[in-house]
Amino acid sequence: MNDQGRKTVAILGGGPAGSTLAAYLCKHGLDVTMFADGKRPPLIVGESLIPAVVPFLRELGVEEEVAAYGTWKGGATFVYDRDYHLNIWFKEVRGGNTPKYSYNVPRDRFDATLRDAATRAGAALVETTGKLERVGDSDRVRLTDDTLAAARDSLAGRQPDWIVDAMGRGRGLPKLLDLPVDAGSRRDTALHAHLENVEVEVETNVHTDRLSRGWSWRIPLQGRVSVGFIVDDASIREFGATAEEQFDNLLRHDPKMRDWSAPGRRITPVMKYTNYQARVTRGIGTNWALVGDAFGFVDPVFSSGMLIAMQSARQLAAALADDSQRALTDYDAYVKANLDAWRSVIEHFYDGRLLTLFKVGQHVRNKFWGKLVDFHFRKHMPRVFMGDDVTNPYSSWLVEFMSTHGLYGHDPEEFRIL
């Protein structure tokens, strides 16, 4: 507690999860110190926001600022092969509780926007990396003496009541306490860079291209396109020894990519991420909690990471303000259920069932019985990918049911992601 009797919270990390958490905690009246040294990789995954993120931007008072530097996003384009593309338009989705649009954003500016929102809300920003140490063999952690000293203006030499790891996939606190991690079923590598002069089929859409090995994304940004490859670890080594060699060779390897990348020029370094599909099995402890990617990250394919981070931040802020074990336990269960729901949807992308289902839907929607199914389908299924309904039990069941029983004899192996 501080001198005024307010609960104190130290947040390690100033990315979207940490900044969003800080802003919501301040709204609940807690005393917040955020440690962020400002250092960051040149590029970070998470540039494409899904529509369910927009209400958070409004609550934080930053949508107008994000719209000024972001690229308006009206839907998603799935590229099966050279001859078949499928567009999903947010404006055509029936029902839902989210806007029918979103934004693609440069992460450096977006992260700064959220960090500024946190400080405007009242969070103290300490521009250093927060460090932790374990208290004996217990489940408690504490700030190191040098970290506590760096926050003398806000913490005044007192250890905070709560410490939150929002440092992303580095997962410093879980490693310190040797917490078990569920690594997920995929063993993929992500390569990510920005290019100029890359073609896109629809300027307002994020693009997902199915490749001969793995898949790629194309995210339109102002003056450039973010391009990423997701390829299994074993295959990636065939394309070179360095991340740059692997990215550049992959870009020239697949015929479908050559169609849109031929005039392209890479203008950034290549960032490489491995073993990212992981979830810590416990997100709360005696005096600590995890939020955002530090708790778990599923996969970049449906751009769910930012939404999960912001939803989790709001939920954790309410739990810490409530200060009950029940609220904290509910937070832990909520995040796990959210991650599991997205993981289930994403598994059907990789096993080919979702892409097959989308293609079947395009063929049958003009038949009489197909119109009846499509009317219901378009109310629930696309809302999942907008982030609106992924944890809704019925919508989750519908995705599972249709992916299993709605393929009408079509073999999903044709569209499996290898």
343, 184 in Cβ contact below 8 A?
yes
pLDDT band at residue 80 using 50, 70 and 90 as cut-offs? confident
- pLDDT tens for residues 251-305? 888 887 888 888 889 999 999 988 677 899 999 999 999 999 999 998 888 899 9
Task: Name the nearest CA neighbour of 224 among 371, 411, 41, 47.
Answer: 47
Averaged pLDDT for residues 13-25:
97
Domains plus CATH for the chain? 8-69+105-181+278-343 (3.50.50.60), 188-274 (3.30.9.100), 351-415 (no CATH)
Whole-number Å distance between alpha carbons of 341 and 304: 11
Whole-number Å distance between alpha carbons of 40 and 120: 22
pLDDT at 369: 47
Look over the chain and give the mean of its residue pLDDT values, rounded to a whole number: 89
User: Distances in Å between the alpha carbon of 197 and those of 79, 101, 259, 346, 369?
Assistant: 19, 25, 12, 30, 44
pLDDT band at residue 319 using 50, 70 and 90 as cut-offs? very high
Task: Name the nearest CA neighbour of 87 among 414, 358, 273, 307.
Answer: 358
Work out the burial of residue 286: count CB atoms within 10 Å of its CB; fewer than 13 is exposed, 13-18 middle, 19 or more buried.
exposed
Whole-number Å distance between alpha carbons of 173 and 164: 9
Looking only at the bridges linking them, the beta strands covering 75-81 and 84-89 are antiparallel
Which of the pair, 363 or 213, is modelled with greater confidence? Answer: 213
How many percent of the chain have pLDDT more than 90?
Answer: 61
pLDDT at 275: 67
pLDDT at 183: 82
Q: What are phi and psi of 267, to 5 degrees?
A: -120, 5
pLDDT at 353: 87
Whole-number Å distance between alpha carbons of 248 and 250: 5
With 70 as the cut, is the pLDDT of residue 350 above it? yes
Which of the pair, 150 or 411, is modelled with greater confidence? Answer: 150
pLDDT band at residue 361 using 50, 70 and 90 as cut-offs? low
Please give the structure tokens belonging to residue 127: 């521009």
pLDDT at 389: 63
- pLDDT tens for residues 200-251? 989 999 999 998 889 999 999 999 999 999 998 888 889 999 999 999 999 8
With 70 as the cut, is the pLDDT of residue 121 above it? yes
Count the neighbouring beta carbons within 10 Å of the beta carbon of residue 126: 22
Kindly write down the DSSP assignment for every residue of 55-80, as one continuous string: HHHHHTT-HHHHHHHSEEE-EEEEEE
Whole-number Å distance between alpha carbons of 270 and 261: 16
pLDDT band at residue 364 using 50, 70 and 90 as cut-offs? low
263, 225 in Cβ contact below 8 A?
no
pLDDT band at residue 4 using 50, 70 and 90 as cut-offs? low
Range 376-402 burial, b when 16+ CB lie within 10 A, else e = ebbbbbbbbbbbbbbbeeebbebbeeb
